[in-house]
Structure 1
Amino acid sequence: MTESLKIALVLTASTGGIGRHVASLTPRFAAAGHRVRVYAPETTARAHGFAGADVRPPAELRRLSGADVLHAHGYKAGGLAVPVRLLRRTPLVVSWHNAVLGLDRQAAAARLLQRFVARGADLTLGASSDLVQQARWCGARNARLGPVAAPALAAPTGDRDAVRAALGFGPDRLLVLTVSRLAPQKNLGMLLDVAAEVRADVRLGFVVVGDGPERNALQDRIDAERLPVALVGSRNDVPDLLAAADVALLTSTWEARALVAQEALLAGVPLIATKVGGVPELVGDGAVLVRSGDAPAAARALRHLAELPFLRAELAARGRAEAAAWPDEDAVAADVLAAYHSVLR
């Protein structure tokens, strides 16, 4: 039996993918006999629970003692963990989940923090290959890929036709689904550009699930241009919406392992996505990839999928084949434990 470890995990505010990833790890670590403590803000702890772990506020991290390994998720969490690593000499693993975008002062400060964290960690795990390369540029002494698994996709519970009808879609209209925070990185202006390109085609309609700071601006443009796009806000029935969708659309300027892309391929929904970050290595040939901002190319792909049902079926099958090769949550947890043992050696 592998020796039991005392593991300390550190997060900053996360109600999304990073928190879900850690919430996937904690019960698996506990089931393997390891003692797990999570340092996270109350909002993060409330959103994810972290089963199997003792949850503490980040302020208590400075009193850390007795841990065998410290694992920070995100470079901001790494900024909290590096001083503790230096003081307590606890081996530190840092997972990079997001890139720093933009050229303003805030982005410049974030890049300085990345350098500090990269040089202070014993091992850096990047959720995508471009993050691994970025960590190396920042001075990481040891960096490698550390995939993040999508949680198992729940089975739909609603009737497909009823879900579509509630959204205003009959049997002859294609539902193009986007699940996204309404924020700049998601580049939803490109989605509206695509909708404008195909608005004359009455077969196509767009549904955007999610909320965020750009909602009002997006709705104003939808209304002004009479675009066939519905912003439906946050929903807790994404499996039903995926089952109701004909095509999924991802327009982000950057993603590592986009959860919505993983869910679309797992659900067998044909995906059109921007060729950014870790998306190409994630989806392989299981999706149609276009350059970021290239709305005409995305619109052409959408028209082809609308006109040729066999293409949608083929793309869905290729997507499922790609998804079958992804590591599941158990495999990812085992990979992270192997990373811990590597720094302990």
Structure 2
Amino acid sequence: MSLRVLLVRPRASGGLAAHVDQEHAALEGAGVGVRASAAVIGERPSPRADAAALRVLRRETAALRATGPIAVHAHGLRAGALAALAVRSLGPASGAAPVRLVVTLHNRTVGGTAVRAVGAVLLRILTSRADVVLAVSPDLAEQAARAGASEVLHAVVPAPAGPSGSSDPVDPAGPADPADAGRPLDVLVIARLAPQKGLPDLLDAVAVLERDLVSRGRVRVGIAGDGPLRQALAERIAAERLPVELLGRREDVPALLSRADLVVSAARWEGQPVALQEALRAGRAIIATDAGGTRWVTQEAATLVPVGDAPALASAILEHLDPAVRRHREQASRQRARSLPGARDMTDQLLDVLAPRDPRW
């Protein structure tokens, strides 16, 4: 019997949504029968909506289980906890087909004491039933293990292939044009304009550079992305006359990367940032905060600085004004890009963890 998967996703955008879409397509391409759950799982708790989602998950799981073994793959903390409750409620009926539960954790719980307490309860619920927990960052893996998960693995979250369909690194750039020596350093940031991305810290770093006689006027920053902080960021940029441009949501990221001298991430937390994977494949020099799973992605290729340390970020950017430093980092990026996991690695991992280890399969 072929593998059948019930895919459970929360309402989400950005990297989580893109990864679930990528998984769905990859599994179908591998011949897996994938059913997307109709359960509506919001970003915030709602007793009525969550109860309705739980009823849908119970009904879907029971219906699929009636025709043979299945795997349920839930993405995110809340979806994982609801899926765990749904699977547990079916019980180990005699002769019933097995149900395997896999949960991918994408984000840490951020908020006050009450929010974190609820997050801890949800984590214990899902780890008590999940056969495997996939974590996108080391801190999430540690939390799942402490909560009692039976098996925790590093989730493979590759960047999509480029427009050409290839995920190979680009060829090295040619020698620097002498005419470029006098122009400002073009810094590219690819990020949703949201608190997690640390953009106020980035503006702090740019302000530090603008106050420094050595670096003043030598750096200009473009931020590609949109989000709830757009107005606040725009007002500060205008008030302080910072050399930063909000580029909005862009569909031409490869072109932006090809023109950038340096890619920067000031994130306060990350899973496995797709934007940095794209920057590695584009052969760009990278500076990033040592947040979440960033080190998993960049390894030694990027210059990593502490989270929230604007002076350290400014110092690293100042160092990259030297073309020789950038050329060295570009080479490191291309080298790391060659060993980044791809879609095939993700598919292989999914097929391995989703297939029930049961003789009835």
What's the TM-score once normalised by structure 2's chain length? 0.82
> Structure 2 matches for 1:2-41, cutoff 5 A?
3-39=1-37
Quote the offset at 1:206 in angstroms.
0.7
In structure 2, the residue corresponding to 1:91 is in which secondary structure? strand
CA gap 1:31/1:147 in 2 versus in 1, 3 angstroms: closer
| Kept in 1: contact 2:58–2:87 (CA 8 A) | no
Quote the offset at 1:26 in angstroms.
2.0
Q: 2:329 & 2:309 partners in 1: Cα distance?
A: 20
- Which of 64, 69, 72 aligns to 1:70? It is 72
Task: Report the residue type matching 2:266 in the other structure.
Answer: T
Task: Report the residue type matching 2:319 in the other structure.
Answer: H
Partner of 1:271: 286
In structure 2, the residue corresponding to 1:151 is in which secondary structure? coil
Task: Report the residue type matching 2:72 in the other structure.
Answer: L
Partner of 1:53: none
User: How many equivalent pairs are there?
Assistant: 318
Matched, 1:93 2:102: yes
| Kept in 1: contact 2:123–2:147 (CA 8 A) | yes
- Which of 327, 332, 345 aligns to 1:318? It is 332
| Kept in 2: contact 1:15–1:43 (CA 8 A) | no
| Kept in 1: contact 2:58–2:90 (CA 8 A) | no
Partner of 2:96: none
Q: Deviations over 1:286-345 (max 9, x none)?
A: 000000111111111111111x21211110111121121121011111111101126547
Q: Mark the runs of 5 or more structure 2 residues left unpaired by the alignment.
A: 43-52, 92-98, 166-179
Matched, 1:305 2:320: yes
- Which of 265, 281, 285 aligns to 1:250? It is 265
Greater relative CO, 1 or 2 (CA 8 Å, sep 6+): 2
Partner of 2:249: 234
Task: Report the residue type matching 1:332 in the other structure.
Answer: M
Q: 1:14 & 1:343 partners in 2: Cα distance?
A: 31
Q: 2:127 & 2:317 partners in 1: Cα distance?
A: 41
- Which one is further off, 197-206 or 58-67? 58-67
In structure 2, the residue corresponding to 1:199 is in which secondary structure? helix
> Structure 2 matches for 1:92-111, cutoff 5 A?
92-111=101-120
RMSD: 2.4
Q: 1:207 & 1:129 partners in 2: Cα distance?
A: 30
Q: 2:228 & 2:358 partners in 1: Cα distance?
A: 43
Q: Mark the runs of 5 or more structure 1 residues left unpaired by the alignment.
A: 45-56, 157-168
Matched, 1:188 2:199: yes
> Structure 2 matches for 1:133-144, cutoff 5 A?
133-144=142-153
Partner of 2:187: 176
- Which one is further off, 99-108 or 269-278? 99-108
Q: 1:71 & 1:226 partners in 2: Cα distance?
A: 48
- Which of 171, 175, 197 aligns to 2:208? It is 197
Matched, 1:131 2:140: yes
Matched, 1:116 2:104: no
Partner of 1:146: 155
Quote the offset at 1:155 in angstroms.
5.6
Larger Rg: 2
| Kept in 1: contact 2:197–2:267 (CA 8 A) | yes
| Kept in 1: contact 2:54–2:85 (CA 8 A) | no
Q: 1:77 & 1:311 partners in 2: Cα distance?
A: 44
CA gap 1:305/1:237 in 2 versus in 1, 3 angstroms: same
Moved over 3 A (4+): 40-44, 57-60, 342-345
Q: 1:202 & 1:247 partners in 2: Cα distance?
A: 16
Q: 1:189 & 1:92 partners in 2: Cα distance?
A: 39
In structure 2, the residue corresponding to 1:207 is in which secondary structure? strand
In structure 2, the residue corresponding to 1:325 is in which secondary structure? coil
| Kept in 2: contact 1:146–1:336 (CA 8 A) | no
Task: Report the residue type matching 2:261 in the other structure.
Answer: D
Q: Percent identity?
A: 36
Matched, 1:331 2:345: yes
